Structure 1
Amino acid sequence: MKLATMILLAALALPLQGHAEDRYQAKVGQPAPEFSLDALVGMQKGKEFKRISLSDYKGKWLVLFFYPADFTFVCPTEIKGFSEALESFRKMNAEVVGASTDSKYSHLAWVQRGDLGKLGFPLLSDINKEVARDYGCLDEKEGMALRALYIIDPQGVLQYQVVHNMDVGRSVEETLRVLEALQTGGLCPLGWKHGEKTLTR
């Protein structure tokens, strides 16, 4: 009886293991992996740390981007670029959140050094690397996130993802273009831009 019970339990465990692996793979058209992380959220009153979760953005579009590391060279150009364009995103009911595998204190020191100018959005601390792994952008060998960007719709469904080599920065303008194209709800042809007709409207 004991052996039979062990065999039954082993058989039941097999599909559960497969389900667990699938659960944490970010896929377009599927619910975005949940997260809840400490973040640096502002410098108006000194250091401001806050717990930030995906559920905080329910009802809004979210642009979530991962960058490799604090105190690097390409990353601050992107962070400053997204901060400068923040109002353009907000006009489209979207918020921006950055993330890396650095600590929240590293984020704070980086901002205090002046490399990022006026930080306009939260920087998540994925220090355990779990969220980068869930989103499929963790470089396991280097122990840091690749340069990845995700657009999540107001219902929490992942609608867009792109992953760059660590050496190549992303385009804020392209992110805005894709966000606006997604919001049309229509079929957008190659190079579609604001003001142009979609194939269905």
Structure 2
Amino acid sequence: EPYRRTPTPLGLQTMIRSFVRKVARKPVMKMPVRTNMIGKKAPEVSAMACMPDNSFQEISLSDYKGKPVVLYFYPADFTFVCSSEVPGFAALNEEFEKLGAQLIGCSTDTHHVHKAWKNASSELGGLADFDINHPLIGDFKGEVSEAFDVRMNGDFDPLPCRAVFVIDDDGTVMAEHRNADPLGRNTKEALRTVQALLEHKKTGRVVPADWTPGADTLETTTEAVDEYLKKLKAKK
């Protein structure tokens, strides 16, 4: 006898149809589209932070209006690459202060965890051997990370990626750098970026690749570019 399919019970048919309709109505999940913040005003955010003296204080970006701000995000306290980056930024804080710039770190740990991390020994993965001399925001609600669109996988991951924002004294985002989780940042590049920003504001000239303080800047003319490129070629 030819193969004959057993009829599906009416109740099961109804369940299947209902499931198919629900799936058809469900919106397709889309990967997040990253926001380009260059040239835009930084979002106004407020959050609790662990301060250099280990006190807790609510801070806002507007507290530092009138000075450049370097805001860096990192995934988590008591982790691996982060344990090298935060002391690395702290080691440059005196240089940032000389430029009139404010350094701020941020992760989605609480401010209490920041304090514990700062006071724990290196045997426990802590930073007690270092002077963490700038505020660390405890973005445990994820609001600051969301405002700057730095979650590793958008809404699907609460941890921020390794992002750095250089914000001008009027609140405009002038530079944004992002690294993948395994890749630690060159903290000195954040300092160089602030130096370049201040040089541009002082002189009105643009800053070429690999510029360091004291090196040539450029007028925005073809003649200036020609002269610069000839000097560059002569150095090789």
RMSD: 1.6
How far did 1:133 drift? 1.2
Alignment of 1:113-124 (within 5 A): 113-114=120-121, 115-116=126-127, 117-124=130-137
Aligned position for 1:187: 206
How far did 1:71 drift? 0.6
Q: TM-score, normalised by structure 1?
A: 0.83
Q: Structure 1, unaligned stretches of length 5 or more?
A: 1-23
Quick one: distance in 1 between partners of 2:51 and 2:77? Answer: 15
Alignment of 1:74-93 (within 5 A): 74-93=81-100
Aligned position for 1:29: 39
2:140 to 127, 139, 155: 127
How far did 1:182 drift? 1.2
Q: For residue 133 of structure 1, give the secondary structure of its aligned residue in structure 2.
A: helix
Identity percentage of aligned residues? 37
1:29 is aligned with what amino acid? G
How far did 1:42 drift? 2.5
Quick one: distance in 2 between partners of 1:172 and 1:42? Answer: 19
Aligned position for 2:171: 156
2:159 to 128, 144, 148: 144
- The one-character-per-residue Cα deviations of 1:51-88 (angstroms, maximum 9, x if unpaired) are 01000111111000000001101112111111111111
Quick one: distance in 2 between partners of 1:181 and 1:175? Answer: 10
Aligned position for 2:16: none
How far did 1:175 drift? 1.2
Higher mean C-alpha displacement, 68-77 vs 134-143: 134-143
Q: TM-score, normalised by structure 2?
A: 0.71
* Greater Cα radius of gyration, structure 1 or 2: 2
Q: Structure 2, unaligned stretches of length 5 or more?
A: 1-33, 221-236
After the TM superposition, which parts of structure 1 deviate over 4 Å for at least 4 consecutive aligned residues?
none
Aligned position for 2:50: 40
Q: For residue 71 of structure 1, give the secondary structure of its aligned residue in structure 2.
A: coil
Quick one: distance in 2 between partners of 1:49 and 1:130? Answer: 18
Quick one: distance in 1 between partners of 2:50 and 2:176? Answer: 24
Aligned position for 1:8: none
Does the 8 Å contact 1:26/1:158 carry over to 2? no
Aligned position for 2:193: 178
Query: Which structure's relative contact order is higher, taking Cα pairs within 8 Å and 6+ residues apart?
Result: 1
Count matched residues: 175
Q: For residue 37 of structure 1, give the secondary structure of its aligned residue in structure 2.
A: strand
Give 1 or 2: higher strand fraction: 1
Q: For residue 42 of structure 1, give the secondary structure of its aligned residue in structure 2.
A: coil
Quick one: distance in 1 between partners of 2:208 and 2:181? Answer: 29
Aligned position for 2:184: 169
Does the 8 Å contact 1:65/1:148 carry over to 2? yes
Q: For residue 209 of structure 2, give the secondary structure of its aligned residue in structure 1.
A: coil
